Amino acid sequence: MKGHILKSIIYVTSACIVRNRYSPLWDLARNKPDMKGICKQLIRCIEIFVSRSFIQKCRECEKRTDNMIIHLLCFCPYKERQQHCLWKLIYELLGHDEFKRCSVLDTSSQCAYVLKLATLNSNLCFSHLNITKATAKLLSL
């Protein structure tokens, strides 16, 4: 496995999966029924993002990709409007300098960063709900 992908996986899983492969997103889903769908979807997307890659065809644009999450977040031409909305929210959150640092990362690390922002939570609330919702909408499979 390539080093940068491995680093991305550790980065995402450390944000949303704590001990014994248990995600705090399940606590959130249990306590906030209106967030259950988003929690399940994000966990599924992270599973796809970190699992062994295999070639899949995008249902939207029919292009073949070895990582559907990276494809949808960065490359799918049918998702351009939603990608723009999501990256704009991230820009507003991070500010110019941090966003610039994020923009020079490889795409795998950028996607790990987005998934981390989308799943970050404390006290049974998502830390950046607008980014969580925009990410879930973009990644609806």
Select 134 or 139, whichever has its Cβ closest to Zn ion. 139
- Of 27, 60, 80, 92, the one binding Zn ion (CB under 5 A) is 60
User: Which of 41, 48, 37 minimizes the C-alpha distance to 12?
Assistant: 48
Select 71 or 121, whichever has its Cβ closest to Zn ion. 71
Residues 19, 141: Cα–Cα separation, whole Å:
28
Q: How many residues bind Zn ion (CB under 5 A)?
A: 4
Select 76 or 112, whichever has its Cβ closest to Zn ion. 76
| Residue span 75-114 as binding mask against Zn ion, x where in contact by CB under 5 A, dash where not | -x--------------------------------------
Query: Three-class SS of residue 65?
Result: strand
Residues 50, 16: Cα–Cα separation, whole Å:
12
DSSP 17-49: --GGG--HHHHHHHH-GGGHHHHHHHHHHHHHH
Select 23 or 108, whichever has its Cβ closest to Zn ion. 108
- Least Å from the CB of residue 66 to Zn ion: 13
29: left (phi over 0), alpha (psi -120 to 50) or beta: alpha
Is residue 12 within the footprint of Zn ion (CB under 5 A)? no
- Of 58, 73, 136, 139, the one binding Zn ion (CB under 5 A) is 58
Is residue 15 within the footprint of Zn ion (CB under 5 A)? no
Task: Measure CA 54 to chain center.
Answer: 18
Select 61 or 94, whichever has its Cβ closest to Zn ion. 61
Is residue 61 within the footprint of Zn ion (CB under 5 A)? yes
**Rg of the chain, C-alpha, whole Å:** 14
